[in-house]
Homo-oligomer: A and B are copies of this chain.
Amino acid sequence: MSKKKVMIAGTFDIIHPGHIFLINEAAKLGEVYVIVSTDKNREKYAGEPPIIPQEQRLEVIKSLKNVKKAVLGRSDNNTLKTVEEIDPDIILLGPNQKYDIATLKKGLTARGLDNIEVIRLKSFYDKFELNSSSLIKKKIIDTYTK
């Protein structure tokens, strides 16, 4: 039997062990396909663009062990179209990614993608203090502007 395709998505602005944990947990379920948010989509979603431009974020993600393939997402917010292209068996959400599973499942079903399993990673990786891109940015600002 061929391995399952596991999809994860994110901005991955400053790589930290929380990202790596998500990727490694995904790898336990199958081969990991990563959608890296475009600058434009991130800006729409978060109100501000990422610090690192999309091509550079993509290059870093591609260099991580356990990443089978990484691609940029779309700029038109039509995330389900990218999901359709990747055609995963499983979508793994991070513990604090703001997608609602029920809404996502509904969208998938509307597109005939109801065979995709959606799972949320429950455990939050808190071995290190700076376990989010925001916390890293905050520390940089606090360090250099005091």
Contact = CB atoms under 8 A, between A and B. Distances in A.
A144 B129 CA distance: 21
B14 A14 contact: yes
A63 B60 contact: no
B20 A60 contact: yes
Which range contains the number of A residues in contact with the other chain? 20 to 34
A139 B55 contact: no
Indicate how many identical chains form the complex.
2
A128 interface: yes
Contacts of A144: 137, 141
Contacts of A52: 16, 130, 136
Contacts of A64: 63-65
A59 B17 contact: yes
26 contacts: A15-B15, A16-B56, A16-B60, A17-B56, A17-B59, A17-B60, A20-B60, A23-B63, A24-B63, A51-B130, A51-B136, A51-B139, A52-B130, A52-B136, A53-B128, A53-B129, A55-B128, A56-B128, A56-B129, A56-B130, A59-B127, A64-B64, A65-B67, A137-B140, A141-B144, A141-B145
